[in-house]
Amino acid sequence: MKFSAIDEYGLRCMLQMARKGYPGTMTIVELAQKEALTPAYVGKLMTILRKGGLVQSIRGQAGGYQLARPAKEISVNEVLEALGGKFYSRDESCSKFPGQHEACVHSVDCSIRSLWTGLERVISGYLSKSKLSDLVIPEPDMEKWLKAQVAGPVPLKEKA
């Protein structure tokens, strides 16, 4: 599983804004400098995030972008879904397949689809609990926090 560059850098820009604090503003140039990105790329990211309702643009001399809500109210899941969509979408995945039939041959009974759906629930649930404000801590503290959050998977019972 891989996250796209848009996911990574969009989340990084949101984190920079969380560090700035709500309702502080940051310009595209400031964000670009802090993340070593081009202003054009940051502009693209901020447009996506604005359309997703996570940031708002402020006009004027002290303008720029600001978080739409305090960082403690914005989940990492919201950010990633605004940037790239859900990890797994049944509608998207089941409508595209390389087969020669009009419909997937597994459309009625697909345990793999169930696996992806379950994984989507776990990932989005975990990321929904993780707020931008949680990420504004040093890496060692973040690692401790993550260890406290992780629970091992529960295996399915095997058929006799």
Secondary structure E strands in 39-132: 55-58, 64-67
Domain residue limits, the chain: 5-149
The arrangement of secondary structure in 5-149, i.e. its CATH architecture, is Orthogonal Bundle (1.10)
Task: Of 37, 112, 123, give the one whose Cα is nearest residue 86.
Answer: 123
In angstroms, rounded to a whole number, what is the distance separating the alpha carbons of residues 24 and 18? 9
pLDDT digits (tens, 9 = 90+) for 22-36: 889 999 999 999 999
Residue whose token pair is 């989340």: 11
* pLDDT higher than threshold 70 for residue 99: no
In angstroms, rounded to a whole number, what is the distance separating the alpha carbons of residues 105 and 110? 9
Secondary structure E strands in 26-137: 55-58, 64-67
In angstroms, rounded to a whole number, what is the distance separating the alpha carbons of residues 28 and 49? 13
**Looking at 9-13, 93-97, 138-142, which range is the least confident one?**
93-97
Terminal Cα-to-Cα distance of the chain (whole angstroms): 33
Contact (Cβ atoms closer than 8 angstroms) between residue 65 and residue 46: yes
In angstroms, rounded to a whole number, what is the distance separating the alpha carbons of residues 68 and 57? 9
Q: How much is the average pLDDT of 67-94?
A: 83
Of the pLDDT bands very low, low, confident and very high (cuts 50, 70, 90), residue 37 is very high
Of the pLDDT bands very low, low, confident and very high (cuts 50, 70, 90), residue 90 is low
pLDDT digits (tens, 9 = 90+) for 112-124: 778 888 888 888 8
In angstroms, rounded to a whole number, what is the distance separating the alpha carbons of residues 32 and 55? 16
Q: What pLDDT sits at residue 42?
A: 97
Of the pLDDT bands very low, low, confident and very high (cuts 50, 70, 90), residue 8 is very high
Task: Tell me if the pTM is above 0.85.
Answer: no
Residue whose token pair is 């305090």: 70
